[in-house]
Structure 1
Amino acid sequence: MKLSRTLLLVFVISAILQFQAQTDEAVIKDIYKTSLTNGNSYQWLDYLSNQIGGRLSGSYNAELAVNYTKTELEKLGLTKVWLQPVMVPKWVRGAKEYAYIESSEGKTTTVNICALGGSVATPGIGVKAEVVEVKSFEELATLGEANIKGKIVFYNRPMQADLIQTFQAYGGCVNQRYKGAVEAAKYGATGVIVRSMNLRLDDLPHTGSMTYEDLPNDKRIPSAAISTNDAELLSSMLKLDTGAKFYFRQHCKQLKDVQSYNVIGEIKGSEYPDEIITVGGHLDSWDLGDGSHDDGAGVVQSMEVLRLFKVLNITPKRTIRVVLFMNEENGLRGGKKYAEEAKTKGENHIFALESDAGGFTPRGFSFDCNDANFNQVLSWKPLFKPYLIHYFEKGGSGADVGPLKSETNVLAGLRPDSQRYFDHHHASNDTFDAVNKRELELGAATMTALVYLYDTYGVNPISNPSTLKD
């Protein structure tokens, strides 16, 4: 009799799990179908990119983007939409930069540069000096002040082309952009030129953030990025003509901090409202393009997650919250502010997902979590197989959601195909025409499917079906 009851219990549990799996498959199929046939992410991105444009932190365009996205979220009929104030830096580029290489014979060749975000301006007449080419800070230190003082340091370490993970290649050389000026100033350099973080050869300079750390204002030197084609040209000319000089002029300026906002909307959970699932991207962008891939795509995909829940009449058990973070590019003020207030309020963020790797075809996710929770997400992998989503790996999540990390929660990052991402990243060709509608919508559906599963099952691994509380 006892054995019969045990077998019956096993049968019932098996039937329940099979039914739930079929339900999950059906819901996820509807999510993809709706995103691809009745999506709104591409329409939102069109307006954000083409009607507003680049959204540099503290700018008028950033303010327009805050108002636009708040209004659009309010149209979705969410439980609540609000603005979270945050003070952000205000850096302005000014007039277009200008640069040329001058041979020892006095012949000049114009090249393409752009100021790095946070850089000081050159003197009004610009800076012209001999050039020292290096590929690392160690090489810089070896040369020392005797070989660097009064010269322009040219950092020319390229992204490593044989790395399939392009973000790994980016991480392998981005320190020369971020800290290049600080390191060069130690040895009396008069300026810094950095090879753009780009895997292909083209004429587009790529901007990005840089720091002076605690360097006094009078010791700060101007820092600019040079296109990869022109970096190759400059390197070649220096090998042939050691007396060649470089000239550049830029007019950027750091102003006082200004108030901006994170844009937040949520659907209140019906069963566990105190368990919060957050999905987001960053609303600010650099100013050279319109920020469609970085990170307009992540913004509209995150908004679409909540819209799909509403359109498909999915009543979440847990609170689903979208956060459009401000100032990821040059300060991370929005992400830090959100996490700070969440901690003050004692909010329980069980899962947070960020999309900040472009609007290309989704491949999967990277997860920052413990082994038990990672095993849980691996059990969901078959649900994504029909949509060619196969990448489920431990790794980083996103800069904005990173401050939410705890010992028990799960952070994740959407991982689209990244092979073309750095062709556009922080450059003037990060524009709406570079985003494929279908790829963008597939990413939004993939994010929604994962949020749905976390809402359904929570973050507790299913180690014993009989203890399943949902």
Structure 2
Amino acid sequence: MSASAQTSKIDSVNIRKIYDEALLRGQSYDNLRQLTGQIGGRLSGSPQAQQAVDWGKVTMEKLGLDRVYLQEVMVPHWVRGAKEKAEIKPAKGKGVALNVCALGGSVGTGGKLRAGVVEVKTWAELAALPADRVKGKFVFFNRPMNAAYIETGRAYGEAGDQRRNGAVEAAKRGAVGALVRSLTLAHDDFPHTGAMRYDEAVAKLPAAALSTNGADELSQLLKADPDLTFELEMSCETLSEVKSYNVVGEIRGSRLPDEIITVGGHLDSWDLAQGAHDDGTGCVQSMEVLRLLKATGLRPERTVRAVLFMNEENGVRGGNKYAELAKAANEKHLAAMESDGGGFTPRGFTIEAPAATVKRLQQWQPLFAPYFSGRFTAGHAGTDIEPLKGQVKALIGYDCDSQRYFDIHHTAADTFDKVNRRELELGGASMAGLIYLLSKYGL
């Protein structure tokens, strides 16, 4: 047997050990139960976010790692306030109540805000409307996600400009508010929150998401009655920034301790539910990577660091701070991996790196094929590790089945009961397997 074949066999056996440990004694699921059940939603700046920091630190300390510590970071503090209310007011007949939620960072309405509605699906449609058709009205952005795409993240990315920029573009035309179709392929009554932005050059308008059923109903009623009005009431506001933390735990490398491999997820979540798939699963999987390496006796040759990032959802302050501190300390980062696509069935990994590095990583695909996670493709790796670009040789995203993710993403439905134990533990094992190889062979 050749040396390379012998090495491959040893690696196959070790990766099997990792999967056995995860499936027989994995702790990701029980850790997630604690995080979601005891703390719940963890919006940046909230008391729950601080509770999550404390929980993450204690949980990693129990693993007996070489080091566990906090990285201080200032974060935004937006609060939703009382539950939002919305109603379609036809010229004749009864009003129709709709399920809505404020977009993250929106200003409130200052009481009840009532105005006409103009519906658009593209920026060009909005630009083409005469000024008197838009001024003093709500602009209703109703472009659905493209259901023809196999990768749902692509559809989310394309439709997301409405949520991010809708309030700014509506303000430029003299509107009083922005209504946005929820970013999901599901047809239901759950509105999806998410970050939006303002531009200091124009007025800050209240911005709300409508459920897909609500958006369809408003669109239909507008066709029958273009002069109907919409009433919205939101009490959200932005408070002063709050001190928070990234939570970091690491196993020091046995041979090359100064070379660092980072794996992480974001500890904050939106406030409508428990933040289970987004991104409680990524946090518990990242911690589980360290536990799996310890439990199997596969001490990494390079330092492996798990990071629970704060404030991915509405600012990426934690990701930026981690990269800033790494650069200031002149740390040598080999690779960074992120899990932020839910805890669904593993498929493989997406890689942001030069073509030669992608090809190098793809040589390990056969080792993951038995676990159905051998798809290694070029693609976006993750928001929190993106600031490390230029400091690492490869950014790697954990890639899992995406078909159900946007049904619950940023909604009240993102709860622990939507997570499958085996899918979650398989994902942690996949991540640990690749990090084992990276720590042994580098890039």
Q: TM-score range by the shorter chain?
A: over 0.9
Residue matched to 2:223: 239
Return the offset for 1:106.
4.6
Q: Give the Cα separation in 1 of the matches to 2:236 and 2:337.
A: 34
* Partner Cα separation in structure 2 for residue 408 and residue 131 of structure 1: 48
1:172 corresponds to which of 144, 158, 167: 158
Opposite residue 46 of structure 2, the aligned amino acid is S
SS at match of 2:383: coil
The equivalences for 1:208-287 within 5 A come to 208-215=194-201, 219-287=203-271
Give the aligned residue type for 2:366: P
User: Is residue 194 of structure 1 aligned with residue 180 of structure 2?
Assistant: yes
Aligned length: 443
1:342 positional shift: 0.4
The whole-number CA distance in structure 2 between the counterparts of 1:408 and 1:113 is: 41
Query: Cα offset for 1:407?
Result: 7.3
CA distance in 1, matches of 2:150, 2:63: 39
Aligned pairs for 1:134-173 within 5 A: 134-173=120-159
List aligned pairs for 1:57-76, cutoff 5 A: 57-76=44-63
3-state DSSP of counterpart to 2:213: helix
Q: Does 1:453 align with 2:410?
A: no
Q: Which amino acid aligns with 1:175?
A: D
Whole-Å separation in 2 of the counterparts to 1:231 and 1:314: 52
Partner of 1:7: none
Question: Which residue in 2 is equivalent to 1:92?
Answer: 79
Q: Distance in 1 between matches of 2:338 and 2:384?
A: 8
Q: Quick check: 1:27 aligned with 2:11?
A: no
Q: Distance in 2 between matches of 1:429 and 1:144?
A: 39
Measured in 1, the distance between the counterparts of 2:442 and 2:144 equals 43
2:89 corresponds to 1:102: yes
Task: Provide the residue aligned with 1:462 in structure 2.
Answer: none
User: What's the CA shift string for 1:321-369, capped at 9, x where partnerless?
Assistant: 0000000000000000000010001011111000000011011110001
State whether residues 121 and 252 of structure 1, in contact with CA within 8 Å, keep that contact through their aligned partners in structure 2.
Answer: yes
Q: Which of 356, 378, 386 lines up with 1:402 in the alignment?
A: 386
Please say if residues 206 and 426 of structure 1, whose CA atoms lie closer than 8 Å, have aligned partners that are also in contact. Answer: yes
Distance 1:35 1:90 in 2: 37
How far apart are the structure 2 equivalents of 1:39 and 1:288?
28
* Aligned mates of 2:374, 2:260 — CA distance in 1: 26
Please give the per-residue CA displacement for 1:31-55, whole angstroms capped at 9, x wherever unaligned.
0111011000001000100110000
Distance (whole Å) between structure 1 residues aligned to residue 226 and residue 392 of structure 2: 57
Q: Would the aligned equivalents of 1:370 and 1:408 in 2 still touch at CA under 8 Å?
A: no
Separation in structure 2 between the aligned mates of residue 172 and residue 98 of structure 1, nearest angstrom? 28
2-structure distance, mates of 1:130, 1:137? 19
Percent identity reads 55
Q: TM-score, normalised by structure 2?
A: 0.99
* 2:289/2:429 contact within 8 Å kept: yes
| Residue number in structure 2 paired with 1:443 | 427
- Report the counterpart of residue 374 of structure 1 in structure 2: 358
> Is residue 332–residue 391 contact of structure 2 (8 Å, CA) maintained in 1?
no
Deviation at 1:147, TM superposition (A): 1.3
Distance, in Å, in 1 between the alignment partners of 2:5 and 2:342 is: 36
C-alpha contact 2:194 2:410 (8 A) present in aligned 1: yes
Query: Given the alignment of the two structures, is residue 413 of structure 1 paired with residue 412 of structure 2, yes or no?
Result: no
Name the SS for the 1:107 alignment partner.
coil
- Residue number in structure 1 paired with 2:68: 81
RMSD of aligned alpha carbons? 1.0
> For 1:390 and 1:244, how far apart are their aligned partners in 2?
53
Counterpart of 1:246 in 2: which secondary structure? Answer: strand
Structure 1 partner of 2:168: 182
Task: Show structure 2 runs of 5+ residues with no match.
Answer: none
**Could you tell me how far apart the structure 1 residues matched to 2:412 and 2:392 are?**
40
Q: Could you state the TM-score of these two structures normalised by the residue count of structure 1?
A: 0.93
1:278 aligned counterpart, secondary structure: strand
Instruction: Work out the CA distance in 1 between the residues paired with 2:219 and 2:17.
Output: 54
Residue 114 of structure 1, CA deviation: 0.2
CA shift at 1:182, angstroms?
A: 0.4
Contact 1:182 1:215 in 2 (8 A): no
Contact 2:87–2:98 (Cα < 8 Å) also in 1? yes
Name the SS of the counterpart of 1:172 in structure 2: helix
Structure 1: runs of 5 or more not aligned: 1-13, 460-470
2:87 aligned partner, one-letter code: Y
Structure 2 residue corresponding to 1:365, chosen from 330, 340, 349: 349
Please list the CA deviations of residues 28-80 of structure 1 after superposition, one character each: whole Å capped at 9, or x if unmatched.
00101110110000010001001100000000000000000100100111110
Per-residue CA shift, 1:250-283, capped at 9, x if unaligned? 0001001010000001011111111100000000
Q: Which residue of 2 aligns with 1:424?
A: 408
Q: Deviations over 1:126-181 (max 9, x none)?
A: 11111000011121111142210000010000000010010000011101001100
> Quick one: distance in 2 between partners of 1:383 and 1:391?
11
Q: How many Å separate the matches in 2 of 1:243 and 1:406?
A: 53
Partner AA of 1:130 in structure 2: G
Instruction: Give the secondary-structure state (helix, strand or coil) at the position aligned to 1:247.
Output: strand
Amino acid at match of 1:88: V
* More displaced 10-residue stretch of structure 1: 333-342 or 145-154: 145-154
In structure 2, what residue type is equivalent to 1:306? Answer: L
The amino acid across from 1:430 in the alignment is: D
- On the 8 A contact 1:238/1:244 being kept in 2, the answer is yes
Given that 1:368 and 1:397 are in contact with CA atoms closer than 8 Å, whether structure 2 keeps it comes out as yes
Q: Which runs of 4+ in 1 moved over 6 A?
A: none
CA distance in 1, matches of 2:434, 2:72: 29
User: Does the 8 A contact of 2:344 with 2:423 survive in 1?
Assistant: yes
The equivalent residue for 1:388 is: 372
> Given the alignment of the two structures, is residue 119 of structure 1 paired with residue 103 of structure 2, yes or no?
no
Larger Rg: 1
Residue in 2 aligned with 1:3?
A: none
C-alpha distance in 2, partners of 1:140/1:90?
32
